[in-house]
Protein backbone atom coordinates (compact mmCIF):
# COMPACT_ATOMS: atom_id res chain seq x y z
CA UNK A 1 0.00 0.00 0.00
CA UNK A 2 2.79 2.42 0.90
CA UNK A 3 4.55 1.65 -2.36
CA UNK A 4 1.51 2.90 -4.27
CA UNK A 5 1.52 6.33 -2.65
CA UNK A 6 2.40 9.26 -4.86
CA UNK A 7 5.59 11.20 -4.23
CA UNK A 8 3.71 14.33 -3.11
CA UNK A 9 1.72 12.27 -0.59
CA UNK A 10 4.90 10.78 0.84
CA UNK A 11 6.43 14.24 1.11
CA UNK A 12 3.44 15.47 3.09
CA UNK A 13 3.50 12.31 5.23
CA UNK A 14 7.14 12.78 6.11
CA UNK A 15 6.64 16.42 6.99
CA UNK A 16 3.99 15.13 9.41
CA UNK A 17 6.39 12.55 10.85
CA UNK A 18 9.30 14.96 11.28
CA UNK A 19 6.93 17.55 12.77
CA UNK A 20 5.73 14.97 15.30
CA UNK A 21 9.29 14.10 16.29
CA UNK A 22 10.14 17.79 16.65
CA UNK A 23 7.02 18.39 18.74
CA UNK A 24 7.84 15.47 21.04
CA UNK A 25 11.32 16.94 21.45
CA UNK A 26 9.83 20.27 22.57
CA UNK A 27 7.69 18.40 25.11
CA UNK A 28 10.77 16.60 26.43
CA UNK A 29 12.48 19.94 27.06
CA UNK A 30 10.77 19.80 30.44
CA UNK A 31 14.20 18.43 31.40
CA UNK A 32 15.87 21.68 30.29
CA UNK A 33 13.12 23.70 32.00
CA UNK A 34 13.63 21.79 35.23
CA UNK A 35 17.37 22.42 35.06
CA UNK A 36 16.78 26.18 35.16
CA UNK A 37 15.05 25.75 38.52
CA UNK A 38 17.95 24.12 40.35
CA UNK A 39 19.61 27.36 41.44
CA UNK A 40 16.38 29.21 42.26
CA UNK A 41 13.86 26.79 43.78
CA UNK A 42 16.14 24.43 45.69
CA UNK A 43 16.90 25.70 49.19
CA UNK A 44 19.68 23.24 50.04
CA UNK A 45 21.96 20.63 48.51
CA UNK A 46 19.52 17.81 49.22
CA UNK A 47 16.77 19.51 47.21
CA UNK A 48 19.21 20.23 44.39
CA UNK A 49 20.14 16.56 44.24
CA UNK A 50 16.48 15.60 44.31
CA UNK A 51 15.73 17.80 41.28
CA UNK A 52 18.84 16.70 39.38
CA UNK A 53 18.16 13.00 39.95
CA UNK A 54 14.50 13.35 39.00
CA UNK A 55 15.50 15.00 35.71
CA UNK A 56 18.45 12.65 35.35
CA UNK A 57 16.09 9.79 34.67
CA UNK A 58 14.91 11.51 31.47
CA UNK A 59 17.70 13.78 30.18
CA UNK A 60 18.90 11.23 27.63
CA UNK A 61 15.42 11.13 26.06
CA UNK A 62 15.61 14.82 25.16
CA UNK A 63 19.03 14.48 23.55
CA UNK A 64 17.92 11.34 21.69
CA UNK A 65 14.80 13.12 20.41
CA UNK A 66 16.93 16.03 19.16
CA UNK A 67 19.24 13.64 17.29
CA UNK A 68 16.24 11.75 15.92
CA UNK A 69 14.70 15.02 14.72
CA UNK A 70 17.90 15.94 12.93
CA UNK A 71 18.16 12.44 11.49
CA UNK A 72 14.59 12.50 10.21
CA UNK A 73 15.21 15.86 8.52
CA UNK A 74 18.43 14.55 7.00
CA UNK A 75 16.75 11.45 5.58
CA UNK A 76 13.46 13.00 4.45
CA UNK A 77 14.56 16.53 3.52
CA UNK A 78 18.30 16.36 2.84
CA UNK A 79 18.46 19.70 1.02
CA UNK A 80 17.22 21.45 4.17
CA UNK A 81 19.76 19.59 6.26
CA UNK A 82 22.56 20.56 3.89
CA UNK A 83 21.39 24.18 3.70
CA UNK A 84 20.76 24.84 7.38
CA UNK A 85 23.42 22.69 8.99
CA UNK A 86 25.92 23.46 6.26
CA UNK A 87 25.26 27.20 6.14
CA UNK A 88 23.97 28.26 9.57
CA UNK A 89 26.51 26.10 11.34
CA UNK A 90 27.40 28.52 14.16
CA UNK A 91 23.91 28.45 15.63
CA UNK A 92 23.78 24.64 15.46
CA UNK A 93 27.26 24.31 16.96
CA UNK A 94 26.16 26.60 19.81
CA UNK A 95 23.02 24.51 20.38
CA UNK A 96 24.91 21.22 20.36
CA UNK A 97 27.57 22.66 22.67
CA UNK A 98 24.93 23.40 25.31
CA UNK A 99 23.75 19.78 25.08
CA UNK A 100 27.33 18.54 25.46
CA UNK A 101 27.57 20.67 28.61
CA UNK A 102 24.36 19.02 29.81
CA UNK A 103 25.72 15.50 29.35
CA UNK A 104 29.00 16.36 31.07
CA UNK A 105 27.18 18.00 33.97
CA UNK A 106 25.01 15.01 34.81
CA UNK A 107 28.01 12.68 34.76
CA UNK A 108 30.52 14.82 36.66
CA UNK A 109 28.44 17.08 38.92
CA UNK A 110 29.07 15.03 42.08
CA UNK A 111 32.24 13.18 41.12
CA UNK A 112 34.91 13.11 43.88
CA UNK A 113 37.71 15.66 43.52
CA UNK A 114 35.74 17.57 40.87
CA UNK A 115 38.10 20.48 40.17
CA UNK A 116 35.39 22.64 38.53
CA UNK A 117 33.08 22.36 41.50
CA UNK A 118 29.45 21.25 41.72
CA UNK A 119 28.04 24.73 41.13
CA UNK A 120 29.88 25.06 37.80
CA UNK A 121 28.01 22.07 36.43
CA UNK A 122 24.73 23.43 37.76
CA UNK A 123 25.44 26.63 35.82
CA UNK A 124 26.11 24.48 32.74
CA UNK A 125 22.66 22.92 33.19
CA UNK A 126 21.18 26.41 33.44
CA UNK A 127 22.91 27.39 30.17
CA UNK A 128 21.50 24.32 28.43
CA UNK A 129 17.99 25.15 29.68
CA UNK A 130 18.11 28.82 28.68
CA UNK A 131 20.60 29.55 25.89
CA UNK A 132 20.09 26.15 24.26
CA UNK A 133 16.30 26.39 24.15
CA UNK A 134 16.39 30.07 23.15
CA UNK A 135 18.58 29.28 20.15
CA UNK A 136 16.39 26.34 19.16
CA UNK A 137 13.38 28.65 19.24
CA UNK A 138 15.22 31.24 17.17
CA UNK A 139 16.14 28.56 14.62
CA UNK A 140 12.50 27.43 14.36
CA UNK A 141 11.46 31.07 14.08
CA UNK A 142 13.42 31.35 10.83
CA UNK A 143 10.83 29.00 9.29
CA UNK A 144 8.61 32.11 9.35
CA UNK A 145 11.04 35.00 9.04
CA UNK A 146 13.48 33.45 6.57
CA UNK A 147 17.25 32.96 6.51
CA UNK A 148 20.18 34.48 4.65
CA UNK A 149 21.14 31.92 2.03
CA UNK A 150 21.06 31.23 -1.68
CA UNK A 151 21.50 28.03 -3.64
CA UNK A 152 23.28 27.74 -6.98
CA UNK A 153 22.34 25.47 -9.88
CA UNK A 154 24.03 22.54 -8.14
CA UNK A 155 22.15 23.18 -4.83
CA UNK A 156 25.34 24.32 -3.12
CA UNK A 157 24.56 26.73 -0.31
CA UNK A 158 26.05 30.19 0.07
CA UNK A 159 25.30 31.84 3.41
CA UNK A 160 25.23 35.60 3.02
CA UNK A 161 25.57 36.65 6.66
CA UNK A 162 28.87 36.40 8.56
CA UNK A 163 27.21 35.20 11.78
CA UNK A 164 26.23 31.93 10.08
CA UNK A 165 22.80 31.51 11.64
CA UNK A 166 23.39 33.35 14.90
CA UNK A 167 21.81 36.42 13.29
CA UNK A 168 18.46 34.72 13.87
CA UNK A 169 18.84 35.54 17.56
CA UNK A 170 18.58 39.27 16.74
CA UNK A 171 15.20 39.05 15.00
CA UNK A 172 12.41 40.11 17.47
CA UNK A 173 9.99 37.40 16.32
CA UNK A 174 12.63 34.68 16.65
CA UNK A 175 13.75 35.90 20.07
CA UNK A 176 10.16 36.07 21.31
CA UNK A 177 9.49 32.56 20.05
CA UNK A 178 12.66 31.34 21.73
CA UNK A 179 11.82 33.01 25.05
CA UNK A 180 8.32 31.54 24.89
CA UNK A 181 9.87 28.08 24.54
CA UNK A 182 12.21 28.79 27.48
CA UNK A 183 9.30 29.64 29.79
CA UNK A 184 7.18 26.82 28.36
CA UNK A 185 10.01 24.41 29.21
CA UNK A 186 10.09 25.86 32.73
CA UNK A 187 6.34 25.32 33.08
CA UNK A 188 6.68 21.73 31.87
CA UNK A 189 9.65 21.24 34.19
CA UNK A 190 7.69 22.30 37.25
CA UNK A 191 4.79 20.04 36.24
CA UNK A 192 7.02 17.02 35.73
CA UNK A 193 8.93 17.55 38.98
CA UNK A 194 5.63 17.95 40.85
CA UNK A 195 4.49 14.59 39.52
CA UNK A 196 7.79 12.87 40.26
CA UNK A 197 9.06 14.21 43.59
CA UNK A 198 7.90 13.25 47.09
CA UNK A 199 8.68 16.33 49.18
CA UNK A 200 5.89 18.60 50.36
CA UNK A 201 7.88 21.83 50.70
CA UNK A 202 9.60 21.56 47.33
CA UNK A 203 6.36 20.55 45.60
CA UNK A 204 4.60 23.60 47.07
CA UNK A 205 7.26 25.85 45.55
CA UNK A 206 7.02 24.01 42.24
CA UNK A 207 3.25 24.57 42.14
CA UNK A 208 3.69 28.33 42.56
CA UNK A 209 6.49 28.41 40.02
CA UNK A 210 4.40 26.68 37.35
CA UNK A 211 1.81 29.45 37.35
CA UNK A 212 4.44 32.21 37.61
CA UNK A 213 6.30 30.91 34.57
CA UNK A 214 3.04 30.55 32.66
CA UNK A 215 2.36 34.24 33.26
CA UNK A 216 5.92 35.14 32.24
CA UNK A 217 5.47 33.27 28.96
CA UNK A 218 2.31 35.15 27.97
CA UNK A 219 3.86 38.42 26.68
CA UNK A 220 6.15 36.48 24.33
CA UNK A 221 3.32 34.19 23.22
CA UNK A 222 1.00 37.11 22.51
CA UNK A 223 3.70 38.88 20.49
CA UNK A 224 4.32 35.72 18.45
CA UNK A 225 0.60 35.26 17.77
CA UNK A 226 0.21 38.93 16.85
CA UNK A 227 3.10 38.72 14.40
CA UNK A 228 1.77 35.50 12.88
CA UNK A 229 -1.51 37.24 12.16
CA UNK A 230 0.00 40.44 10.76
CA UNK A 231 3.37 39.53 9.24
CA UNK A 232 4.14 39.01 5.57
CA UNK A 233 4.75 35.42 4.61
CA UNK A 234 6.23 33.30 1.87
CA UNK A 235 4.10 31.39 -0.62
CA UNK A 236 4.77 29.20 -3.65
CA UNK A 237 2.55 29.14 -6.70
CA UNK A 238 1.59 25.46 -7.21
CA UNK A 239 1.57 25.81 -11.00
CA UNK A 240 4.63 27.94 -11.77
CA UNK A 241 6.58 27.09 -8.56
CA UNK A 242 7.41 30.79 -8.24
CA UNK A 243 7.95 31.87 -4.63
CA UNK A 244 6.82 35.30 -3.51
CA UNK A 245 6.23 37.38 -0.41
CA UNK A 246 2.58 38.11 0.38
CA UNK A 247 0.71 39.91 3.13
CA UNK A 248 -1.12 37.87 5.77
CA UNK A 249 0.17 34.51 4.54
CA UNK A 250 0.15 32.75 7.89
CA UNK A 251 -3.24 34.16 8.83
CA UNK A 252 -4.49 32.81 5.51
CA UNK A 253 -2.96 29.43 6.37
CA UNK A 254 -4.84 29.37 9.67
CA UNK A 255 -8.15 30.26 8.03
CA UNK A 256 -7.61 27.88 5.12
CA UNK A 257 -6.66 25.02 7.47
CA UNK A 258 -9.19 25.34 10.32
CA UNK A 259 -8.06 22.03 11.81
CA UNK A 260 -4.58 23.50 12.29
CA UNK A 261 -6.03 26.61 13.92
CA UNK A 262 -8.14 24.40 16.21
CA UNK A 263 -5.02 22.39 17.04
CA UNK A 264 -3.14 25.57 17.96
CA UNK A 265 -5.89 26.94 20.19
CA UNK A 266 -6.65 23.62 21.88
CA UNK A 267 -2.94 22.99 22.44
CA UNK A 268 -2.41 26.33 24.15
CA UNK A 269 -5.55 25.77 26.22
CA UNK A 270 -4.27 22.38 27.41
CA UNK A 271 -0.96 23.93 28.50
CA UNK A 272 -2.87 26.51 30.54
CA UNK A 273 -5.08 23.77 31.96
CA UNK A 274 -2.06 21.76 33.08
CA UNK A 275 -0.53 24.75 34.85
CA UNK A 276 -3.86 25.66 36.46
CA UNK A 277 -4.37 22.11 37.74
CA UNK A 278 -0.90 22.18 39.23
CA UNK A 279 -1.34 25.56 40.93
CA UNK A 280 -4.94 25.51 42.14
CA UNK A 281 -5.71 21.84 42.80
CA UNK A 282 -4.00 18.93 44.54
CA UNK A 283 -3.57 17.06 41.27
CA UNK A 284 -0.09 16.00 40.23
CA UNK A 285 -1.08 15.12 36.66
CA UNK A 286 -0.79 18.56 35.10
CA UNK A 287 2.18 17.39 33.02
CA UNK A 288 -0.07 15.23 30.83
CA UNK A 289 -2.58 17.81 29.51
CA UNK A 290 0.26 20.34 29.24
CA UNK A 291 2.43 17.79 27.43
CA UNK A 292 -0.31 16.94 24.97
CA UNK A 293 -0.98 20.66 24.52
CA UNK A 294 2.70 21.29 23.80
CA UNK A 295 2.76 18.61 21.10
CA UNK A 296 -0.43 19.94 19.49
CA UNK A 297 0.83 23.53 19.58
CA UNK A 298 4.17 22.64 18.01
CA UNK A 299 2.49 20.47 15.37
CA UNK A 300 0.33 23.41 14.34
CA UNK A 301 3.43 25.62 14.07
CA UNK A 302 5.19 23.14 11.80
CA UNK A 303 2.04 22.65 9.72
CA UNK A 304 1.71 26.41 9.20
CA UNK A 305 5.21 26.49 7.72
CA UNK A 306 5.12 23.35 5.59
CA UNK A 307 1.62 22.91 4.20
CA UNK A 308 -0.72 25.02 2.06
CA UNK A 309 1.92 25.99 -0.51
CA UNK A 310 4.27 27.44 2.08
CA UNK A 311 8.09 27.25 1.93
CA UNK A 312 9.16 25.86 5.30
CA UNK A 313 12.67 27.32 4.98
CA UNK A 314 12.40 30.63 3.10
CA UNK A 315 15.37 32.59 1.85
CA UNK A 316 15.46 36.33 2.46
CA UNK A 317 18.40 36.70 0.08
CA UNK A 318 16.95 34.85 -2.91
CA UNK A 319 13.27 33.89 -2.85
CA UNK A 320 13.85 31.30 -5.56
CA UNK A 321 16.20 29.40 -3.25
CA UNK A 322 13.49 28.90 -0.61
CA UNK A 323 12.86 25.30 0.38
CA UNK A 324 9.49 23.54 0.32
CA UNK A 325 8.63 20.01 1.33
CA UNK A 326 8.57 19.22 -2.39
CA UNK A 327 11.86 20.61 -3.66
CA UNK A 328 13.86 19.67 -0.54
CA UNK A 329 12.74 16.07 -0.08
CA UNK A 330 14.38 12.74 -0.81
CA UNK A 331 13.41 10.63 -3.81
CA UNK A 332 10.18 8.67 -4.06
CA UNK A 333 12.10 5.43 -3.52
CA UNK A 334 13.87 6.70 -0.37
CA UNK A 335 10.69 8.04 1.20
CA UNK A 336 8.91 4.77 0.40
CA UNK A 337 11.59 2.64 2.07
CA UNK A 338 11.66 4.98 5.07
CA UNK A 339 7.88 4.69 5.38
CA UNK A 340 8.14 0.92 5.76
CA UNK A 341 10.65 1.38 8.57
CA UNK A 342 8.40 4.02 10.18
CA UNK A 343 5.77 1.33 10.73
CA UNK A 344 7.92 0.21 13.68
CA UNK A 345 7.75 3.63 15.36
CA UNK A 346 4.51 2.92 17.34
CA UNK A 347 6.18 -0.15 18.86
CA UNK A 348 9.19 1.90 19.88
CA UNK A 349 6.92 4.54 21.43
CA UNK A 350 5.02 1.83 23.29
CA UNK A 351 8.30 0.52 24.71
CA UNK A 352 9.35 4.02 25.79
CA UNK A 353 5.97 4.53 27.47
CA UNK A 354 6.36 1.23 29.32
CA UNK A 355 9.89 2.09 30.51
CA UNK A 356 8.70 5.58 31.55
CA UNK A 357 5.90 4.03 33.61
CA UNK A 358 8.30 1.64 35.31
CA UNK A 359 10.77 4.41 36.13
CA UNK A 360 8.10 6.71 37.53
CA UNK A 361 6.00 4.08 39.30
CA UNK A 362 7.33 5.46 42.59
CA UNK A 363 7.98 9.11 43.37
CA UNK A 364 11.53 10.11 44.16
CA UNK A 365 12.40 10.99 47.77
CA UNK A 366 15.54 11.88 49.71
CA UNK A 367 16.01 8.26 50.74
CA UNK A 368 16.35 7.05 47.15
CA UNK A 369 18.87 9.77 46.30
CA UNK A 370 21.06 9.37 49.37
CA UNK A 371 20.89 5.59 49.30
CA UNK A 372 21.94 5.23 45.67
CA UNK A 373 25.69 5.33 45.10
CA UNK A 374 25.10 5.94 41.38
CA UNK A 375 22.86 8.98 41.83
CA UNK A 376 23.71 12.16 39.94
Please tell me the distance from the alpha carbon of residue 38 to that of residue 134, in angstroms, as a whole number: 18
- Helix or strand run (H / E) with residue 7: helix 7-28
Please tell me the distance from the alpha carbon of residue 98 to that of residue 241, in angstroms, as a whole number: 39
Beta bridge partners of 99: none
SS3 of 247, please?
Answer: strand
Q: Are 278 and 210 in contact (CB under 8 A)?
A: yes
Cα first-last separation, the chain: 48
Mean residue pLDDT of the chain comes to: 92
pLDDT band at 229 (very low <50, low <70, confident <90, very high): very high
Helices (H) then strands (E): counts for the chain: 17, 4
Report pLDDT digits (tens) over 6-20.
999 999 999 999 999
Average pLDDT over residues 51-76: 90
Report pLDDT digits (tens) over 246-298.
999 999 999 999 999 999 999 999 999 999 999 999 999 999 999 999 999 99
Report pLDDT digits (tens) over 318-361.
999 999 999 999 999 999 999 988 887 788 778 778 877 777 77
| Residue 367: per-residue pLDDT | 65
SS3 of 238, please?
Answer: coil
Report pLDDT digits (tens) over 173-218.
999 999 999 999 999 999 999 999 988 999 999 999 999 999 999 9
Q: Are 153 and 200 in contact (CB under 8 A)?
A: no
Q: Global pTM?
A: 0.94
Please tell me the distance from the alpha carbon of residue 172 to that of residue 4, in angstroms, as a whole number: 44
| Residue 342: per-residue pLDDT | 84
| Nearest Cα to Cα of residue 19 among 59, 67, 64, 72 | 72
Please tell me the distance from the alpha carbon of residue 287 to that of residue 59, in angstroms, as a whole number: 16
| Residue 364: per-residue pLDDT | 74
SS3 of 19, please?
Answer: helix
Question: For 133-281, where are the alpha helices, taking DSSP H only?
Answer: 133-145, 172-196, 200-230, 249-256, 258-280
Average pLDDT over residues 235-256: 94
Distances, alpha carbon 257 to alpha carbons 293, 308, 354, in Å: 19, 8, 35
Please tell me the distance from the alpha carbon of residue 69 to that of residue 15, in angstroms, as a whole number: 11
Kindly state the DSSP code that residue 236 receives in the 8-state scheme.
Answer: E
Characterise 187 by phi-psi region: left (phi > 0), alpha (psi -120 to 50), beta (else). alpha
Please tell me the distance from the alpha carbon of residue 207 to that of residue 276, in angstroms, as a whole number: 9
Q: Is it the case that residue 372 has pLDDT exceeding 70?
A: no
SS3 of 234, please?
Answer: strand
Concatenate the DSSP letters of all residues of 141-170 into one string. Answer: HHHHH-BSEEE-TT--EEE-STTTTGGGGG
Distances, alpha carbon 320 to alpha carbons 151, 153, 310, 316, in Å: 9, 11, 13, 10
Q: Are 143 and 325 in contact (CB under 8 A)?
A: no
Q: Are 130 and 35 in contact (CB under 8 A)?
A: no
Kindly state the DSSP code that residue 237 receives in the 8-state scheme.
Answer: -
Polymer length in residues for the chain: 376
Amino acid sequence: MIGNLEWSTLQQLWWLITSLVGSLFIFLTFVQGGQTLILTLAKNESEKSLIVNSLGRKWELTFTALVLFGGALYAAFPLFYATSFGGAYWVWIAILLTFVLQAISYEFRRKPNNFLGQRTYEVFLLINGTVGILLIGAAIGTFFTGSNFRLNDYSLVQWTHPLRGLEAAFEPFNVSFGLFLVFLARVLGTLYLTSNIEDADLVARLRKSSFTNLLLSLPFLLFVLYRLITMNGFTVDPASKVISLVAGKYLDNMLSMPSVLAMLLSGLSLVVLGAMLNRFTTSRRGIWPAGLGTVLTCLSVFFLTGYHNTPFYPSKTDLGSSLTIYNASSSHYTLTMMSYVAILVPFVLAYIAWVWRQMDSRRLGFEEVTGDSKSY
